Amino acid sequence: MKRPLSAEQLAALYDESKEKLPKSERARWLDDRLAAQVSFAYEKAPAVKAKFDKAGVAPSDIKTVKDLEKLPVTTKDELVKLQAQDPPLGGFLAVPLNSLSRVYVSPGPIYDAWGDERVMAAVRGMVRSGWPKPGDVCLVANMYHMVPAGLFITDVLDMIGCTVVPAGIGQTELQVKLLKDLQVSAIFSFPSFVMTILQKAEEMGYDVKKDFNIKYVTGGGERHIQVLRKVFEEKYGLIVGDGYGTADLGTVAYDCGRGEGYHYDDNECVVEIVDPDTGKQVEPMEVGEVVVTLLSNVYPLVRFGTGDLASYVDETCACGRSSPRITKILGMVGEHVRVKGMFVHLRELDEAMSKFQNISKYQLVLKLEGHKDQVQLNVEADDVPDKNQFAEQISARCQDVFKLRMDDVQFLPKGTLPEDYKKFVDTRWG
Ligand SMILES: [Zn+2]
């Protein structure tokens, strides 16, 4: 168990004025720390040195966030390979392994080095949001083995001075009993499981608002949080904490409480949204990959690609904070194609097709005619009396959802597409 911090120590962790710096001052604050960070990382982490040397870049070449474009992005797949070549942490660790408080293991498998600084970052986030508070009874309904979920949250709550109920996943009825008997005030889990627990409580005859003491729930880690968030807030009167992070990096962006995107956490890291093909930073509201450089003395990843696609806004938020905000996570790199200058995400294609109950399979095929992109949609569908009319409806729906008209819609006999078919086929480069 980690020892609780005093009220003074907790307050000292968080400096709101830093988050509300005018934009130019914010940029300077970030650039200065980035420059120091890359020098440190180059010196201490052999994999970072190798990355710079291979690109022909010196640490002194990185003076601003924009300068990071000179370096390639390290993908998750590359990290897995580097860890296999140079176990356990691929040459990114800047401290002896046995000085880490935790080593987690994420699917990949990939080792995640967590020093106390990652825990402190999350404590700081909780001080920022004002929840939970010392003395709160917290149900942690997250996995407790391998991954940084349950145990990590427990470490954080210990430092705040909360009482933790390490419930783990499953046993929904028992979770409801714990909520009631222990008068739990905060639930830490993923939103869909929180919803399952609350619905189970209602099935068991409880009134969530009256019979329980729940005030706060978290909503990290799932993309449909914004839908559930409304239900948590409006139906159950709960405060919802939300952030964006990954197992490799910890939390990299946070919701200030307004539910209008995730502020880059300048204290912990440098966030870029970059074109996955070129590695160049994109403009606000353009789609790119979330790429992160940790401001870490323990695990100094430089330009690590999360594989998540997102867009961002750069206007000062109504909360007064000046860091840009990730608007939302749109999908995964690899689950998108770019055609006619547009991104199409698998999720959007799924969304467009979900309107047509009679379509069982669909596949977007990208071809080149001359130098022009051509988009063909293959579908397997039942009951199509008028193919031309239906093709027109499908094309209009695609335009509505992802701003792209189909050049051609082909109706395939059922069973033409094999079970393991790909929804995107790009023949333009082959
Ligand atoms: Zn804000």
Per-residue 3-state assignment (H helix, E strand, C coil) for the chain: CCCCCCHHHHHHCCCHHHHCCCHHHHHHHHHHHHHHHHHHHHHHCHHHHHHHHHHCCCHHHCCCCHHHHHCCCECHHHHHHHHHHCCCCCCCCCCCHHHCCEEEEECCCEEEEECHHHHHHHHHHHHHHCCCCCCCEEEECCCCCCCCCHHHHHHHHHHHCCEEECCCCCCHHHHHHHHHHCCCCEEECCHHHHHHHHHHHHHCCCCHHHHCCCCEEECCCCCCHHHHHHHHHHHCCCEEECEEEECCCEEEEECCCCCCCEEECCCCEEEEEECCCCCCECCCCCCEEEEEEECCCCCCCCCEEEEEEEEEECCCCCCCCCCCEEEEEEEECCCEEEECCEEEEHHHHHHHHCCCCCEEEEEEEEEEECCEEEEEEEEEECCCCCHHHHHHHHHHHHHHHHCCCCCEEEECCCCCCCCCCCCEEECCCC
Ligand 1 centre distance from Cα of residue 209 (Å)? 28
| 111 belongs to a structural domain | yes
Ligand 1 centre distance from Cα of residue 98 (Å)? 38
Domain-ending residue, one of 234, 267, 300: 267
The mean pLDDT value of the chain amounts to: 92
Does the pLDDT value for residue 351 go beyond 60? yes
Domain-ending residue, one of 267, 301, 318: 267
Ligand 1 centre distance from Cα of residue 307 (Å)? 24
The per-residue pLDDT for 330 is 74
pLDDT, tens digit (0-9, with 9 covering 90-100), for 268-281 = 999 999 998 899 99
| 169 belongs to a structural domain | yes
Does the pLDDT value for residue 338 go beyond 60? yes
**Residue 360 has which token pair?**
């069982």
| 281 belongs to a structural domain | no
B/e letters for 297-323, b = 16+ CB within 10 Å, e = fewer, are ebbbbbbbbbbbbbbbeeebbeeebbb
Ligand 1 centre distance from Cα of residue 127 (Å)? 15
pTM of the model: 0.81
Ligand 1 centre distance from Cα of residue 286 (Å)? 20
Ligand 1 centre distance from Cα of residue 430 (Å)? 45
| 315 belongs to a structural domain | no
The per-residue pLDDT for 265 is 97
pLDDT, tens digit (0-9, with 9 covering 90-100), for 294-328 = 999 999 999 999 988 899 999 999 999 999 999 87
**Same-domain status, 168 and 58:** yes
Ligand 1 centre distance from Cα of residue 66 (Å)? 23
Ligand 1 centre distance from Cα of residue 128 (Å)? 12
| 300 belongs to a structural domain | no
**Same-domain status, 259 and 342:** no
Ligand 1 centre distance from Cα of residue 315 (Å)? 10
Q: Please give the residue range of the domain that contains residue 403.
A: 336-426
Ligand 1 centre distance from Cα of residue 107 (Å)? 32
Ligand 1 centre distance from Cα of residue 244 (Å)? 14
Ligand 1 centre distance from Cα of residue 343 (Å)? 27
Ligand 1 centre distance from Cα of residue 320 (Å)? 6
| 57 belongs to a structural domain | yes
pLDDT, tens digit (0-9, with 9 covering 90-100), for 176-228 = 999 999 999 999 998 878 988 999 999 999 999 999 999 999 876 555 566 68
pLDDT, tens digit (0-9, with 9 covering 90-100), for 16-61 = 999 999 999 999 999 999 999 999 999 999 999 999 999 999 999 9
**Same-domain status, 27 and 131:** yes
The per-residue pLDDT for 12 is 96
Ligand 1 centre distance from Cα of residue 263 (Å)? 7
Ligand 1 centre distance from Cα of residue 274 (Å)? 22
**Same-domain status, 253 and 106:** yes
As a whole number of angstroms, the longest Cα–Cα distance in the chain is 72
Ligand 1 centre distance from Cα of residue 319 (Å)? 4
The per-residue pLDDT for 131 is 94
Structural domains of the chain, count:
2
Ligand 1 centre distance from Cα of residue 226 (Å)? 16
The per-residue pLDDT for 341 is 66
Sheet with 372-381, strands from edge to edge, namely 408-411, 372-381, 359-369, 424-426
Does residue 294 contact residue 117 with C-beta atoms inside 8 Å?
A: no
Ligand 1 centre distance from Cα of residue 254 (Å)? 9
Ligand 1 centre distance from Cα of residue 323 (Å)? 8
Ligand 1 centre distance from Cα of residue 411 (Å)? 47
For residues 262 and 326, give the distance between their C-alpha atoms in angstroms, rounded to a whole number: 5
* Side-chain half-sphere exposure of 19, counting CA atoms within 13 A: 23
The domain that holds 252 is classified in CATH as 3.40.50.12780
Ligand 1 centre distance from Cα of residue 277 (Å)? 30
| 1 belongs to a structural domain | no
**Same-domain status, 391 and 261:** no
Ligand 1 centre distance from Cα of residue 38 (Å)? 28
The domain that holds 343 is classified in CATH as 3.30.300.30
Domain-ending residue, one of 227, 243, 267: 267
The per-residue pLDDT for 221 is 54
Residue 244 burial (C-beta neighbours within 10 Å; 0-12, 13-18, 19+): buried
Ligand 1 centre distance from Cα of residue 408 (Å)? 44
Does the pLDDT value for residue 395 go beyond 70? yes
Ligand 1 centre distance from Cα of residue 125 (Å)? 13
Ligand 1 centre distance from Cα of residue 384 (Å)? 49
**Same-domain status, 249 and 341:** no
| 324 belongs to a structural domain | no
Ligand 1 centre distance from Cα of residue 131 (Å)? 16
Ligand 1 centre distance from Cα of residue 266 (Å)? 13
The per-residue pLDDT for 419 is 87
